[in-house]
Amino acid sequence: MHKHNLDIKLPQSWEKELKNIKLKDNIYSPLNQICLDINKGHDVYPPVDKIFNAFNLCSFDNTKVVIFGQDPYHQKGLANGLAFAVNKGNKIPPSLRNIYKEIHDDLGFCYHNLGNLEEWARQGVLLLNTSLSVIDSLPGSHSNIGWSMLIDSVIQILSNKRDVIFLLWGSSSAEKEYLIDSEVNYVLKSSHPSPLSSYRGFFGCKHFSKTNDILLNMNKSPIKW
């Protein structure tokens, strides 16, 4: 059997900042488990060259807004490494459909609605899943392989950066709030945009206009959602 070795790294801008904080474990340790799973014949999503896509498209210096997801999509051909996003040409998933609905209700229009969310990332929106990989058809399968070390460290360096807007949707992302210094950053919270909880506070939260108002007050460019 051909043995896979993952030679992928975070972009230099992120690695440089992560070196400035004390890390208990290696942030790349999850790649070892991913190699093992691939060598066992499992399909892992997103494709390995897209695992760090959120960081590739949104540099540390450019990050203005953070949106948290959970698992990547666990069906073939959907996940592209950005939270809530799917590759172009795929049907828009329910949570993202509700996100687009709230943007339209909040702002009156959507600039970008093709599903892949790359235009958001390029404008400084870090679309961060709390687990960066998943085995085909097994949701949560990589939630305990060490991604939390990287994700928590990224939140820490962004919190230290100051003036970052964190959008916490649902209980999973709210669990990360303790890592954020709300005295020098902005935290907007609501229920999750999934159909199960969107009517409990996500619809009507107006996080997209509120985010842009905050950015304008800081003399930063608003996001074209």
Instruction: Tell me if residue 71 is catalytic.
Output: yes
C-alpha–C-alpha distance, residues 64 and 40, integer Å? 39
Q: Which entry of 61, 71, 105, 181 is annotated as an active-site residue?
A: 71
Catalytic residue positions, numbered: 71
